[in-house]
Structure 1
Amino acid sequence: MLTDTIESKAEIDRSKAAVMIMKLFDLWGLQTEESTALLGLAKDNRTALAKYRKGDPISNSRDSLERLSHLFAIHKNLRLLYPQKEVCYAWMKKRNLVFDGLTPVEVIDRFGFRGLLMVRSYLDRARGH
């Protein structure tokens, strides 16, 4: 009985996370291919994105949950570093000399999970963490 409650709670959390990440991707102005790259999905996986928009839960895999954690941390760092919403939400698609002229989205697309960590680490350091 307790297990059912815990599993249901996890399902609700992953559903909320799916909707939240899709909203964040909208705020960042990401295209389908960019969104799927950040989530580690196949580039043409529009089906998964449509399901997440509806509130279907994000996969319970370690990779998916860690990606979400890093993406939400990137968002938090950006909100703290750039209180102006326009600057905050545009940052992920702006070219950056730190990333050899690539945008943070391009870094994540090119380097995968390692790229996600590169972007997060850069922002953590910028905040002094």
Structure 2
Amino acid sequence: MTQDEAAAMFRAVLNLFGKWELRDEQAATLLDMPARTYRRWKSEGLGRVSRDGRARLSNLMGIHKALRIIFSEGSRGYAWIRAANDTFDGAGALAVMLGGELTDIMRVRRRLDAERGGW
């Protein structure tokens, strides 16, 4: 993924975070960066994105795509992120992802990909 592609994906993820109603601190955790850096990137534009950052962006967009396939109404997919889920021992997907590790985000994506019949 090029830096231009990462920048486009970051803009899409910013929109997604708005739909998920995330606070800046939560968004920064998902992207593994200080909240101050996230706020700067959000207002001034993206800095250099690391390999881990690109993987996070890609997985977050994969989660969004899977939710759009599973739920015909976008609002249901956005609500699913916070809803209690037996797969995650009663926690919501957002709570799992806020563990802060790339593997936490990937765990949610794998669950959704399995649900929609992917992977």
TM-score by length of 2: 0.87
Q: When the two structures are aligned, how many residues end up with a matched partner? A: 118
SS of the residue corresponding to residue 91 of structure 2 reads coil
Gaps of 5+ in 2: none
Cα distance, 1:36 vs. partner?
A: 1.3
Query: Aligned in 2, Cα 1:75/1:15: closer, same or farther, shift over 3 Å?
Result: same
Compare CA radii of gyration and give the structure with the larger one: 1
CA-CA distance at 1:110 after TM superposition: 2.1
Question: What is the rounded CA distance, in whole Å, between the counterparts of 1:109 and 1:57 in structure 2?
Answer: 22
TM-score (norm. length: structure 1)? 0.81
Query: Using the alignment, how far apart are the partners of 1:111 and 1:23 within structure 2?
Result: 20
| Deviation (angstroms), 1:111 | 5.8
- Does structure 1 residue 121 correspond to structure 2 residue 110? yes
| Bigger helix share | 1
Measured in 2, the distance between the counterparts of 1:80 and 1:34 equals 25
Q: CA deviation at 1:89?
A: 1.3
Calculate the aligned-residue CA RMSD, in Å: 2.0
For 2:44 and 2:92, the matched residues in 1 are separated by: 29
Q: What residue number does 1:35 align with?
A: 27
The yes-or-no answer on 1:65 pairing with 2:42 is no
2:81 corresponds to which residue?
92
Paired with 2:33 and 2:100, the residues of 1 have a C-alpha distance of: 14
